[in-house]
Amino acid sequence: MPADRDEAWAWLAAEHRALLAAIDLAVEHGWPTHAWQLAWSVNTYLDRVGAWPDQSRAQELALRAATAAGDRDGQARAHRNRAVACLRLGAYEEARDHLERSRQLYAELGDRVGGGRTELNLGILAERQDDHRRALDHAQRAHRLFEAAGHAQGQANALNNIGWYHIQLGDYPRALDYCGRALAQQQQTGNRYWEAHAWDSLGCAHHHLGRHREAIDCYQHALALWRETGERYFEAITLMHLGDSQHATAEPDDARVAWRHALDVLDRLGHPDAAQVRSRLDDEPAAR
């Protein structure tokens, strides 16, 4: 067994191809429960390193296997995880179909925590489609579900998302309140990954309020945690935000370094958000 997180991550990096092959074999040889549970186990790793086509394929097999086994919990998880891969890859309508099915299954099962996580994903989908008011509604529904379940980690996640959508809607003081509460709760629960989300959100709120030095400090906290947890996509997003605040403080060279690093990550991931960063780099010479 791996001694710690770093050893576990290194093992996954070395063996995830073998694990994907094992999912195929489990489906082929009629071990559906093994198949969907193995796909679920490797899902976080595939998502964080940006192996989204592999993630999508694994969850497609998981869904097939859980359906064959008549396991509704497995189906709900596979639908939601497949939707996450679709969101990363920009397949929004497919993501919506999977999330709606996941939400229905969790409601039938009476699983408020699973339902809350699905609501958070529906909020992300709405945000990607520029419907921030609907995204906020989903995050608020998620918070109610987590609260009813007594799930502290989920409540903290939902608070941060509520704050993030207030940023998108232009209510920065309220965003600071929600994201600050989220950060405090994340630090209490000890979830470093979601703590990074809260730091990034706080940075954005400070940035929009003109507090660029405070924003830069928040982004630096977030970046350290993204790197610690192996999250590549959100590392790039925080680098993009960091460059924006450095640009606002008349540090164009530092901003370009941050944006270049963000672009490098996004290009390697093949993510469409690379266009936003490339636009910043193209516009900067004219701005200077």
Quote the crossing angle between the two packed helices 72-89 and 92-109, to the nearest 10°: 160
Instruction: Please tell me the distance from the alpha carbon of residue 166 to that of residue 179, in angstroms, as a whole number.
Output: 10
Maximum separation of any 2 CA atoms in the chain, in Å: 63
Spell out a b/e string for 145-182, using b for 16 or more CB atoms within 10 Å of the CB, else e.
Answer: bbeebebebbbbbbbbbbbbbbbbeebbeebbbbbbbb
1 pLDDT exceeds 90? no
Neighbours of 93 (CB within 10 A): 9
Phi and psi, residue 191, nearest 5°: -90, 100
pLDDT digit string, tens, across residues 6-54: 677 777 777 878 989 999 999 999 999 999 999 999 998 999 888 999 9
Percent of the chain with pLDDT over 90: 85
pLDDT value at residue 13: 78
pLDDT value at residue 287: 43
pLDDT value at residue 2: 61
Structure tokens at 255: 């901003």
183 pLDDT exceeds 50? yes
Q: pTM of the full predicted structure? A: 0.91
Could you tell me which residue, 71 or 2, shows the higher pLDDT?
A: 71
Instruction: Please tell me the distance from the alpha carbon of residue 197 to that of residue 194, in angstroms, as a whole number.
Output: 5
pLDDT value at residue 283: 82
In this prediction, residue 286 has a pLDDT band, given cuts at 50, 70 and 90, of very low
pLDDT value at residue 14: 79
249 pLDDT exceeds 50? yes
pLDDT value at residue 4: 65
pLDDT digit string, tens, across residues 257-271: 999 999 999 999 888
DSSP codes of every residue in 24-73: HHHHHTT-HHHHHHHHHHHHHHHHHTT-HHHHHHHHHHHHHHHHHHT-HH
Mean pLDDT, the chain, rounded, equals 93
Average pLDDT over residues 91-120: 98
